[in-house]
Amino acid sequence: MRFLVFILLFISIDVSAQFAKPGEEYIRSKEGRNVWEKNTIIWHCIKALKADANNQEAVKVCTCQAEQLDRYFPMAKIKKYERLYPHLSLTKLLEEDVALQQRIEDCYSTISQNNLFFSPLQMTTYRDSMAAYIRENTKEKLDESRINSYCDCAVSIMAKRKINAESVKDINDPNSMLFNEIAYSCGGYPYKKISPTHAWKVADSLDVNGSKRIDSVDVITVGGMTKLKVKIGPVVNVWMLDCGATDMLVSDTMMNKLLQLKLVSKDDFLGQQTYTLANGRILLCDVYKINHVQVGKFTVDNLVIGASKEADSFLLGKTFLNKFRRWSIDNQREQLILEK
């Protein structure tokens, strides 16, 4: 992320004749003549960062920036730009000098290696760029009402953790602590999900029907995958138990069979949603509400099932498991333990 915008903010006002004090340090011309008051430059920089004078990181950055200007511009050029651009001479001088822009931006390097979010303006700028990135690079439908709150939450966590310029890349690594802390605290990316996965709540028990409180369901391990029998009406198939999947997932052929048997109707259609499989494949699915899904002695209602022509295995996901108060796998007995 580039921070040149900050220096351009504070130099866009007249800083040549304010806060004059005896013994004031000056930014000098190349020939050594006093031109701009150094403390005024630094003060406007801190103000532009929306920090305060006690923010030592902001003071260091702004002092470094001011010092890059010292003995840099010839006096003749300074006077020329003051005639051409009253009150904006320093801004214009900087806009035309790429080398000086880089030196000014380099002032952030040391600080950002320790704490990237040391000022409120940097937090705001990063939040806005994060929101723009999500909008531009996400294929799934977004919940616009959640984007800003998600980004605010994420940046707040990064600032609290004093994330530096190196570790900020972890925000895109699903295996990192930072990614998962943000997902846990901020609710994951603000996708418009038909069936957001949630933890168990008492109301879920009303969707589980069965005379027993606990049931043990036989499972098998095939190719390292845990599989079990799932019955929907008269249709019985072997499904993969996938606690990393959100909903139930079947092929288009299976969904057509469920529609023909009137186990699902067109009135149950909820829309389309993308699902990301464990191997990284992204499937666009037609999504339906489904009832009467039987596993062992339990029958579960109010589930969500997606159908795609690219689906080869049937998946029983987290929204099914989360209907139960507790569930576990007994590896010794090869059983799924479900507790209503």
48-100 confidence digits (pLDDT tens): 888 888 999 989 998 998 999 999 999 999 999 989 988 788 888 888 898 99
Domain match, 101 and 125 both: no
- Cβ contacts of 35 within 8 Å, gap of 6 or more: 16, 26, 27, 28, 29, 73, 75, 78
pLDDT of 252 = 93
Residue of 15, 117, 18, 21 lying closest to 61 (CA atoms): 117
Enter the pTM of the model. Answer: 0.64
pLDDT of 324 = 94
| Distance, first Cα to last Cα, the chain | 50
Domain match, 209 and 273 both: yes
The residue behind tokens 């990064």 is: 158
- Taking only the tens place, the pLDDT of each residue in 199-244 is 778 888 899 999 899 999 999 998 888 999 999 999 999 999 988 7
- Bridge partners, residue 232, by sequence: 235, 293
- Cβ contacts of 116 within 8 Å, gap of 6 or more: 122, 126, 158, 163, 164, 165, 168
What's the CA gap between 335 and 340, in Å, rounded?
16
The residue behind tokens 């994420």 is: 154
The answer to whether the Cα torsion of 205, 208, 209, 212 is positive or negative is negative
- Domain for residue 192, yes or no? no
More confident residue, 307 or 44: 307
Domain match, 180 and 218 both: no
Domain match, 87 and 171 both: no
- Taking only the tens place, the pLDDT of each residue in 233-264 is 999 999 999 887 888 999 999 999 999 999 99
Task: Determine how many CB atoms are found less than 10 A away from the CB of residue 178.
Answer: 19
Domain boundary (156, 186, 216) is at 186
Q: How far is CA 211 from CA 215, 228, 268, 305, 338, in A?
A: 10, 21, 27, 25, 13
What's the CA gap between 241 and 230, in Å, rounded?
10
Per the rule left: phi > 0, alpha: psi between -120 and 50, beta: everything else, 163 is: beta
Domain match, 16 and 65 both: yes
Residue of 25, 110, 121 lying closest to 67 (CA atoms): 25
Domain match, 214 and 332 both: yes
Domain match, 239 and 162 both: no
Domain match, 206 and 182 both: no
- Taking only the tens place, the pLDDT of each residue in 6-24 is 444 444 444 443 433 555 7
Query: Tell me, what DSSP letter sits at residue 170?
Result: G
Q: How confident is the model at residue 117 (pLDDT cuts 50, 70, 90)?
A: confident
Domain match, 105 and 169 both: no
Domain match, 138 and 221 both: no
Which domain covers residue 262, as residue numbers? Answer: 202-339
pLDDT of 312 = 84
Work out how many domains the chain is built from and give that number: 3
- Domain for residue 195, yes or no? no
- Domain for residue 193, yes or no? no
Token pair recorded at residue 294: 């039987």
Domain match, 105 and 126 both: no
pLDDT of 6 = 43
Q: Is residue 330 over pLDDT 80?
A: yes
